[in-house]
Amino acid sequence: MPKRNDDALDELERNFVIRVIEKFSKQRSDKLENQSKDFARFLGMIKTETIMGEQDRRYVTLTRLVKILAKMPETIREFLPHSTVSALVKMTNFNMTIDIALIEYLVRTVEHSERTYIKLLDFSENSREISCMNLETYIKNEYIPTMVEEVENAEYYAAFAAGIIFFILGARKKELISIQDLLASTLLLCLEDCIQAENGGFPLPAVDIFTVKAFRETICEFRDLDTDRNGVLSPQELLRFRGGLFNEVFIERIFQISQTYENCIDFKGFVDLVCAVDFRHTRASAKYHFEAFDLQDDGLLDGKEIRTMTILQAYVTQTEEPLNFDPDVIDCEMRDLLQLTKPITPSEFADSKIGHLFSGFVSNFRDMQKYEAREQ
């Protein structure tokens, strides 16, 4: 038996995968085109049954919607199963009707997901996942050329946007994210909305985290901290972050929970920190802060760690007048807020409704001041 040529086999497998993906993409494209026509007809029929409400809101009754769906192709009926319709009725909460804007947004997200999935296949590792590096390449190829206002550095903007996406999806330490999770999050749709709003001078969308303005603020903040202009931040440089109001131990922990380069963090690591601070109500931020507060790196947050972090706040800065507080009182108060009767896990911390409040209090002086002044 002749010896198997592994290189030839690998090449054969790669070519086979490419052919399958190309065929699959073509089938998806054809299906999407037909589906878009069905969606357009569906929305047109709904609009003929519109009931106007307050503030020019448009509604369709549940009865009318059911009758319209009965005339639609199976793909549209699958798009709006009973469970989804029931959820839309509850969200609208108005006389057994559905806000048409909700249906329109749902259609838009589905069509966007289908179109984007086809494009992402070329950047996918295995047609199911995509790496941060490939997502950056996708953003540079797909979105940056559509910007009317040219970004100063395309590489950094792509790293900024991809970094936010990986952070919010809880994958900042992972090499790959699921394409399904990426599309379900609608973050790429939010990215498109930001670009379209800035291109046309329209009001920014509710989720405006991907704007050129937000990027410039972040990179300017990074460069301002980078005093030696070497493209990375040292612990000493990061101590000046947001006015130098974050305590030293928290800053030190950033370098212990992040990927570092000779004990420095790069722009991506800085974006993770900015996301953790600015999006403090998210589970991803709770996870980040938990890692920073878990001084023993044992996956549990206990009373000793809480006490250590709270005591530090009295000495966080020499430029601000320290607050007079009893560390024992603060320790007990924070433990009560977290309902801490035993060491808590990351998921318990993320589930806590006051986790974001705790995170701000024990990490930076400004949030502690706000908390202390709440009853004054």
pLDDT tens string 139-148? 999 999 999 9
pTM of the model: 0.85
DSSP 3-state of 376:
coil
Residue 327 has a pLDDT of 61
> What's the helix, strand, coil split of the chain in %, to 5?
65, 5, 30
Task: Tokens for 287, please give them.
Answer: 């996870």
Question: 236-372, superfamily in CATH?
Answer: EF-hand (1.10.238.10)
Residue 198 has a pLDDT of 96
Residues sharing a CB contact under 8 Å with residue 40, sequence separation 6 or more, in sequence order: none
Q: In the chain, which residues have pLDDT < 70?
A: 1-30, 312-331, 333-334, 340, 372-376
Closest-CA residue to 358 (of 133, 34, 344, 106): 344
Burial class (CB in 10 A: 0-12, 13-18, 19+), 102: middle
Residue 364 has a pLDDT of 84
Residue 185 has a pLDDT of 93
Residue 321 has a pLDDT of 56
The segment(s) of the chain belonging to CATH 1.10.238.10 are: 236-372
Residue 368 has a pLDDT of 74
Please give the sequence-ordered ranges of beta strands (E in DSSP) within the chain, or none if there are none.
51-52, 58-61, 97-99, 129-131, 176-178
Residue 146 has a pLDDT of 96
Q: Compute the distance between CA of residue 192 and CA of residue 292 in angstroms, rounded to an integer.
A: 33
